[in-house]
């Protein structure tokens, strides 16, 4: 195709993000030849476990000349997350969650552009020319059932009843050169859309996008309300609308700056044995199971495309760790704010608990039942309901991102006989390894822990030991004189200024 028609778009959003990340020294280009069969993922796991690990751009992939793949995009790195949401890096994770929470109040719908200007249309294939195995889909873990082209992906579907366009991240295992699985956990939006199309006796139109803007990955992996479109939040969070063009196979709005897009349909009741897949829990979630798949009818990709890949793993190398934690934290906080819960100091989803397992909300208690209200809503709001197991509410002096402080509050302010509630038969997934025998899946349960000072006794609760602010400042002033190796810590929990003088 003529170069000039792409004058409007000469760089993908992913390229723009990679450029910024590289300038910060947080991208490692791997030019040695690597095999997408276990080698890229093994290297990512080994590198990604280290604090501050870089994003990895594989430029020489065995069997896939001209193709590139990026792994550990966000990893456990706050700077790269901030860049993904269009912000300068910040120091504290709660600050980043707060920025994203505030931006989640904004929406801006996508703008339609001429598909002829979209880089992704540099190469278009249909019919017998389609071969999706040309892309460097990895096998991540030894017992994976196949190669997963879709991990850091945006899946576009439409609700046939109200036309809402959904964007979600759902895994996709290659079935054949023009068929690919689409695994949605129960209750996920693309699965609900699919059921509606199938109830009408029609196949569901779907687009699978890779080489996506990390911001599109952010909104795709966030649980927004079921009647809202992630595309609108992309515009709101990013500050400018997503450019889309209409796919002629599906009629869906397709992200113009993605590097690879497959269009096709999911046909009623057609399934195949998909999985297992080494999942975000750090386990193979379930054995191979019957799963719908997409019959691919059109493939579009830019020259020399880059595939976005998300390794699921235990520990820091989990792309669903800090990344998913940030999204869940911001969304829970945003949901509670929208519901008008007062006194919110912050919300967090603990990355150390694989990003999804433990939610913490910090509030300034203002009335009887306030803590119970906050913890129950955090457990069941759209941002927090899926899968999370433990939801903890703490007072305003506890930093919800500081696991040590949260554990201290649980140990000193909760009374197990009074402070714990269990929610049963909650929204969960077949992938939870603890739900046994497997036939009980996908029903989950949640433990709500009130780790606030009991409000009934708030005025006579044993006072917390706090420093004199005056003395703290004096000590900071003299810090160097003490000859300590460390810097003075930045603390802010102080006694009221008028505490009594003592002889």
Ligand X SMILES: Cc1cc2nc3c(=O)[nH]c(=O)nc-3n(C[C@H](O)[C@H](O)[C@H](O)COP(=O)(O)O)c2cc1C
* Residue 284 contacts ligand X per CB under 6 A: no
Site for ligand X in 441-480 (CB under 6 A): none
- Which residue of 144, 232, 243, 319 would you call a contact of ligand X, by CB under 6 A? 319
C-alpha closest to that of 223 among 79, 449, 427, 440 = 427
Q: Which stretch binds ligand X (CB under 6 A): 61-69, 317-325, 361-369, 395-403?
A: 317-325
Instruction: Compute the least distance from the CB of residue 277 to ligand X, in Å.
Output: 8
Residue 384 CA to residue 374 CA, distance in Å, equals: 12
Instruction: Compute the least distance from the CB of residue 434 to ligand X, in Å.
Output: 18
Residue 344 CA to residue 44 CA, distance in Å, equals: 37
> What angle in degrees, to the nearest 10, is found between the helix axes of 322-338 and 370-380?
130
User: Which is closer to ligand X, CB of 94 or CB of 220?
Assistant: 220
* Residue 71 contacts ligand X per CB under 6 A: no
Specify the 3-state DSSP secondary structure of 289.
strand
* Residue 151 contacts ligand X per CB under 6 A: yes
Instruction: Compute the least distance from the CB of residue 80 to ligand X, in Å.
Output: 14
- Which residue of 159, 189, 232, 274 would you call a contact of ligand X, by CB under 6 A? 189
User: Which is closer to ligand X, CB of 189 or CB of 399?
Assistant: 189
Is-cis flag, bond preceding 391, omega within 30?
no
- Which residue of 26, 169, 345, 349 would you call a contact of ligand X, by CB under 6 A? 169
* Residue 185 contacts ligand X per CB under 6 A: yes
- Which residue of 231, 324, 333, 472 would you call a contact of ligand X, by CB under 6 A? 324
Instruction: Compute the least distance from the CB of residue 495 to ligand X, in Å.
Output: 43
User: Which is closer to ligand X, CB of 54 or CB of 388?
Assistant: 388
Containing 155, the helix (H) or strand (E) segment is strand 154-158
Binding-site size for ligand X (CB under 6 A) equals 21
* Residue 386 contacts ligand X per CB under 6 A: yes
Burial class (CB in 10 A: 0-12, 13-18, 19+), 328: buried
User: Which is closer to ligand X, CB of 419 or CB of 428?
Assistant: 428
- Which residue of 101, 158, 171, 257 would you call a contact of ligand X, by CB under 6 A? 171
Specify the 3-state DSSP secondary structure of 278.
strand
Instruction: Compute the least distance from the CB of residue 470 to ligand X, in Å.
Output: 47
Residue 266 CA, chain-centre distance (Å), reads 25
Instruction: Compute the least distance from the CB of residue 29 to ligand X, in Å.
Output: 23
Residue 199 CA to residue 180 CA, distance in Å, equals: 22
- Which residue of 41, 222, 414, 450 would you call a contact of ligand X, by CB under 6 A? 222
Instruction: Compute the least distance from the CB of residue 252 to ligand X, in Å.
Output: 14
* Residue 148 contacts ligand X per CB under 6 A: no
* Residue 183 contacts ligand X per CB under 6 A: yes
Residues 125, 12 contacting (CB under 8 angstroms): no
- Which residue of 40, 41, 72, 166 would you call a contact of ligand X, by CB under 6 A? 166
Residues 335, 304 contacting (CB under 8 angstroms): no
Q: Which stretch binds ligand X (CB under 6 A): 110-118, 197-205, 220-228, 251-259?
A: 220-228
- Which residue of 149, 320, 330, 391 would you call a contact of ligand X, by CB under 6 A? 320
Query: What is the DSSP code (8-state) at residue 454?
Result: P
| Residue 398 CA: distances (Å) to CA of 141, 260, 388, 405, 452 | 38, 44, 21, 6, 9
Q: Are strands 165-168 and 154-158 parallel, antiparallel or unpaired?
A: antiparallel
* Residue 70 contacts ligand X per CB under 6 A: no
Residue 291 CA to residue 71 CA, distance in Å, equals: 26
User: Which is closer to ligand X, CB of 280 or CB of 472?
Assistant: 280
Half-sphere exposure of 90 (CA within 13 A, CB side): 15
Collect all residues with Cβ–Cβ distance below 8 Å to 294 and sequence separation of at least 6.
Answer: 172, 179, 180, 181, 182, 206, 208, 262, 264, 265, 266
Specify the 3-state DSSP secondary structure of 238.
helix
Q: What is the dihedral of CA 146, 167, 115, 205, to 10 degrees?
A: 70
* Residue 359 contacts ligand X per CB under 6 A: no
User: Which is closer to ligand X, CB of 181 or CB of 395?
Assistant: 181
Collect all residues with Cβ–Cβ distance below 8 Å to 454 and sequence separation of at least 6.
Answer: 413, 415, 418, 461
Q: Which stretch binds ligand X (CB under 6 A): 4-12, 92-100, 217-225, 298-306?
A: 217-225
Instruction: Compute the least distance from the CB of residue 166 to ligand X, in Å.
Output: 5
Q: Which stretch binds ligand X (CB under 6 A): 218-226, 390-398, 419-427, 462-470?
A: 218-226
User: Which is closer to ligand X, CB of 47 or CB of 155?
Assistant: 155
Residues of this chain that interact with ligand X (CB under 6 A) are 151-152, 166, 168-171, 183-185, 188-190, 221-223, 310, 319-320, 324, 386
């Amino acid at each position: 195709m003529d170069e000039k028609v792409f004058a409007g778009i000469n760089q993908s959003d992913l390229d723009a993000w990679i450029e910024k990340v590289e300038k910060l020294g947080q991208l490692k280009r791997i030019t040695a030849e690597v095999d997408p069969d276990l080698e890229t993922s093994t290297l990512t796991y080994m590198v990604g476990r280290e604090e501050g690990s870089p994003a990895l751009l594989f430029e020489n992939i065995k069997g896939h000349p001209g193709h590139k793949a990026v792994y550990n995009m966000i990893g456990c790195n706050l700077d790269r997350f901030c860049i993904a949401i269009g912000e300068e890096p910040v120091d504290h994770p709660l600050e980043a969650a707060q920025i994203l929470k505030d931006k989640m109040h904004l929406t801006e719908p996508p703008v339609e552009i001429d598909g002829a200007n979209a880089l992704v249309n540099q190469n278009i294939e249909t019919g017998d020319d389609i071969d999706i195995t040309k892309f460097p889909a990895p096998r991540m873990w030894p017992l994976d059932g196949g190669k997963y082209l879709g991990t850091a992906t945006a899946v576009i579907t439409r609700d046939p009843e109200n036309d809402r366009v959904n964007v979600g991240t759902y895994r996709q295992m290659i079935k054949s050169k023009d068929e690919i699985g689409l695994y949605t956990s129960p209750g996920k939006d693309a699965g609900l859309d699919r059921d509606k199309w199938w109830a009408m006796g029609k196949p569901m139109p779907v687009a699978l996008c890779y080489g996506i803007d990390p911001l599109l990955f952010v909104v795709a992996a966030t649980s927004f309300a079921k009647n809202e479109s992630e595309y609108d939040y992309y515009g709101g969070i990013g500050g400018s609308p997503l450019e889309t063009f209409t796919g002629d196979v599906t009629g869906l709005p397709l992200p113009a700056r993605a590097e690879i897009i497959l269009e096709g349909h999911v046909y009623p009741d057609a399934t195949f044995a998909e999985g297992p897949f080494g999942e975000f829990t750090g386990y193979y979630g379930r054995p191979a199971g019957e799963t719908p798949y997409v019959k691919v009818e059109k493939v579009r990709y830019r020259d020399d495309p880059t595939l976005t890949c998300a390794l699921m793993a235990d520990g820091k190398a989990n792309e669903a760790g800090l990344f998913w934690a940030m999204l869940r934290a911001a969304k829970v906080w945003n949901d509670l704010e929208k519901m008008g819960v007062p006194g919110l100091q912050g919300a967090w989803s603990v990355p150390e608990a694989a990003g999804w397992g433990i939610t913490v909300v910090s509030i300034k208690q203002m009335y009887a039942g306030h803590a119970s209200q906050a913890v129950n809503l955090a457990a069941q709001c759209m941002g927090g309901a899926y899968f999370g197991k433990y939801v903890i509410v703490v007072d305003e002096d506890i930093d919800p991102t500081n696991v040590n402080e949260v554990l201290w509050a649980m140990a000193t302010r909760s009374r197990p006989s009074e402070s714990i509630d269990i929610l049963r038969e909650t929204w969960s997934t077949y992938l939870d390894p603890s739900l046994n025998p497997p036939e009980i899946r996908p029903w989950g349960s949640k433990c709500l822990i009130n780790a606030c000072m009991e409000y009934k006794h708030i005025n006579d609760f044993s006072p917390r030991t706090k420093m004199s602010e005056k003395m703290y400042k004096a000590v900071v002033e003299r810090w160097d004189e003490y000859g300590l190796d460390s810097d003075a810590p930045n603390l802010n929990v102080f006694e009221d200024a008028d505490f009594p003088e003592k002889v």
